[in-house]
Amino acid sequence: MEVWQKESVLLFLPLSILLSGLVNVNALSYDYTASIECLAQPHKAQYGGGMIKNPELNEGLIGWSTFGNAVIEHRNESDGNKFVVAAWVQVSEEKALVRAVFRTVTGLKRAAETVAESKCWSMLKGGLTVDASGPAELFFETDNTSVEVWVDSVSLQPFTQEEWMSHHVESIEKTKRRVRIRVEAEGNPVVNSKISIHQKASGKPIGCAVNKGILDNVGYQNWFTSRFTHTTFENEMKWYTTEPVRGKEDYSLPDSIMTLMKQHNIAVRGHNIFWDDPHYQPNWVPSLQPNDLSAAANKRINSIMTKYKGQVIGWDVVNENLHFNFFESKLGPDASATFYKMAAGIDQSIPLFMNEFNTLEQKGDAASTPAKYLEKLKNIQTFMGAEAKRMAIGLECHFDVPSLPYIRSSLDTLAATNLPIWLTEIDVQSGSNQ
Ligand SMILES: *[C@@H]1O[C@H](CO)[C@@H](O)[C@H](O)[C@H]1NC(C)=O
Ligand SMILES: *[C@@H]1O[C@H](CO)[C@@H](O)[C@H](O)[C@H]1NC(C)=O
């Protein structure tokens, strides 16, 4: 059974959260499932609903209107308890964004969002970290007051820091490779052999941006090349660098950095072909008329992709096209999608990234939530047709305090696309417990 209400805030649940009561010796496994399909029937509530009484609303609104006025007790020793929230939502007409929002004593926090459709159920999955005492409420809301929103299979599951760590260890154990070393002399095992193992290179792609400053700085070169297996050039491949004057292309800077990286077997992600931010166009570009812009852009994409074909492992095709829309404003709503389709034709072998910020960061930025990211990605994929699988997800991560349950559940949702996901930038502001 489900409930609905014709209001922007349609349903709320006062929560009873007592952090000190959550210590659990038998750690509950994390539920990694997420769905990006709109289904005829919602799945069962995760964790049997977790803290939610009556999670599938089979008992009417019991729990939703009367449950608690409780106090959250602050635990100084942890960095806050982690709550994972999930629900299935549907709207009466067309489509609308539906959010799960928590009100705690520290304010309102958007925990999850999805594009809900009519006649089928969409999952929203998210999370938040609670580290302050006081009452809390869970709201489901939409900005469009003319649609009815239906909610079902709601779950809210708290995890302690210890439980969270145990999930981490569990995942590592699953993928860990074990090696057995046997030292022999003439076919016989040698006991008490002393073995030393040195890691020469990281098995995981770990990278860092680089800029032209590296070219004449040997100390920087040694430091950089001994650490990283992957890189991206900060500005040296951008259009404003390679074609500062129309028709005068100059690839000498990116070529020099590319040569250095090749010498050290460091893979290069191409960044970027276009940047949708109007402030970062070559200065001759913004005044072009649409036809002329289209011709210049076609030349640009062909030129740089052909030039670095076989030398880069992927491209940010239209950088930050959720926050900005320079090309869409000049060439129409399919501008990005057209460039991705062209890119797929020019280089048939590498992933084509949508690179964005504030998708994993829980900063209340409505432009680039996982739901918004997936909506744009889907538009581009529909336009690309058979090439849709060439897309890849690039996430710039600029965290203040990273919200682990939000990051985890957002990754679960994005991973449901089955596309590769790369964290293309990452920084964390310094703070306690980090
Ligand atoms: C937690 O920290 C606050 C302020 O730092 C302190 O007043 C309080 O006594 C501490 N509580 C516990 C249970 O240690
Ligand atoms: C709100 O929903 C109605 C019904 O689906 C739709 O016609 C209208 O365009 C929506 N309004 C906004 C601002 O999205």
* Cβ atoms of 155 and 125 closer than 8 Å: no
Give the tokens for residue 244.
């500062």
- Ligand number with the minimum distance to the CA of 19: 1
Which residues are CB-neighbours of 51 under 8 A, at least 6 positions away? 15, 16, 17, 156, 157, 158
Query: Do 45 and 91 fall within a single domain?
Result: yes
Nearest bound ligand to CA 20?
1
Taking CA atoms only, the protein residue closest to ligand 2 atom 11 is 144
pLDDT at residue 10, as a whole number: 45
Q: Are residues 321 and 382 in the same domain?
A: yes
Catalytic residue among 141, 320, 356, 361: 320
Residue ending a domain, choose from 123, 147, 167: 167
4 pLDDT exceeds 60? no
Res. 102 pLDDT band, cuts 50 70 90? confident
**Ligand positioned closest to the Cα atom of 77:** 1
Q: Is the CB of 147 under 6 A from ligand 2?
A: yes
Supply the DSSP string of 331-400, one letter for each residue. H-TTHHHHHHHHHHHH-SSS-EEEEEESSSS-S--GGG-HHHHHHHHHHHHHHHGGGGGGEEEEEEEEES
Cβ of 8 less than 6 Å from ligand 2: no
Residues 6+ apart with CB under 8 A from 255: none
Residue-wise pLDDT for 324-383, tens only, equals 999 999 999 999 999 999 999 999 999 999 999 999 999 999 999 999 999 999 999 999
* Residue 45 scores a pLDDT above 80: yes
Instruction: With respect to residue 194, please indicate whether it lies within any of the assigned structural domains.
Output: no
**Residue 176 domain-assigned?**
no
Structure tokens at 254: 């990116």
Least confident of 149-153, 213-217, 391-395: 149-153
Distance CA 352, CA 421 (A): 11
Quick one: pLDDT at residue 180? 85
Is residue 58 domain-shared with residue 141, that is, in the same domain?
Answer: yes
Q: Residue 214 belongs to a domain with what CATH number?
A: 3.20.20.80
Q: What is the pLDDT of residue 24?
A: 42
CA 15 to ligand 1 centroid distance, Å:
23
Check pocket membership of 92 for ligand 2, CB cut-off 6 A. no
For residue 196, tell me if it sits in a domain: no
pLDDT value at 8 more than 60: no
Q: Would 390 be classed as within a structural domain?
A: yes
For residues 33 and 162, membership in a common domain is answered with yes
Residue 335 lies in a domain: yes
Ligand positioned closest to the Cα atom of 73? 1
CA of 78 to the centre of ligand 1 (A): 12
- 306 CB less than 6 Å from ligand 2? no
CA-wise closest residue to 358 among 314, 420, 409, 402: 402
Q: State whether 346 and 390 are in the same domain.
A: yes
88 touches 121 (CB < 8 A): yes
Q: Given the CA of residue 93, which atom of ligand 2 is nearest to it?
A: 5
Pocket test for ligand 2, best of 7, 142, 147 (most atoms within 8 A of CB): 147
Boundary of a domain, candidates 167, 190, 210: 167
The share of the chain scoring above pLDDT 70, in percent, equals: 87
Q: What is the domain extent for residue 21?
A: 2-167
240 and 365 in a single domain? The answer is yes
Three-state SS sequence of 234-294 = CCCCCHHHHCCECCECCCHHHHHHHHHHHHCCCEEEEEEEEECCHHHCCCCCCCCCHHHHH
**Is 320 among the residues known to form the active site?**
yes
Q: Please state, as a whole number, how many other Cβ atoms lie within 10 Å of the Cβ of residue 287.
A: 9
From ligand 2's centre to the CA of 143, what distance in Å?
Answer: 10
Residue closest by Cα to atom 10 of ligand 2: 144
Give the distance (Å) from ligand 2 centre to CA of residue 144: 6
Please give the model's pTM, rounded to 2 decimal places. 0.87
Cα separation, 386 vs 166, whole angstroms: 40
CA angle (21 as vertex; 16, 25 as ends), nearest 5: 135
Question: Does ligand 2 have an atom closer than 6 angstroms to the CB of 144?
Answer: yes
pLDDT by residue (tens digit) across 120-145? Answer: 999 999 999 887 767 778 888 888 88
pLDDT at 25 over 60: no
Q: Are residues 390 and 294 part of one domain?
A: yes
> In angstroms, rounded to a whole number, what is the distance separating the alpha carbons of residues 394 and 358?
11
Pairwise CA distance, residues 43 & 197, whole Å = 48
Same domain, 119 and 263: no
Q: Are residues 133 and 214 in the same domain?
A: no
Q: How far is the CA of 376 from the centre of ligand 1 (A)?
A: 46
pLDDT digits (tens, 9 = 90+) for 369-389: 999 999 999 999 999 999 999
What pLDDT sits at residue 74?
Answer: 40
Give the residue, out of 93, 141, 375, with the most ligand 2 atoms within 8 A of its beta carbon, to mutate for a pocket test: 93
Cβ 19 under 6 angstroms from ligand 2: no
pLDDT of residue 19: 43
Rounded Cα gap, residues 27 and 21, in angstroms: 14
What distance in angstroms lies between residue 339's CA and the mean position of ligand 2's atoms? 30
Does 404 reside within a domain? Answer: yes
Decide whether any atom of ligand 2 lies within 6 Å of the 170 Cβ. no
pLDDT digits (tens, 9 = 90+) for 220-266: 999 999 999 999 999 999 999 999 999 999 999 999 999 999 999 99
Tokens 């928590």 correspond to 102
Number of separate domains in the chain: 2
Domain end among 117, 141, 167: 167
Distance 432 CA to ligand 1 centre (A): 15
> Does residue 158 share a domain with residue 259?
no
SS3 (DSSP) at 33: coil
> Do 134 and 20 fall within a single domain?
yes
Domain contains 433: no
pLDDT per residue over 67-96, tens digit each?
Answer: 333 333 444 444 568 899 999 999 999 999
Q: Which residue has the higher pLDDT, 115 or 23?
A: 115
The single-letter DSSP state of residue 208 is E
> Are 53 and 106 within 8 A, CB to CB?
no
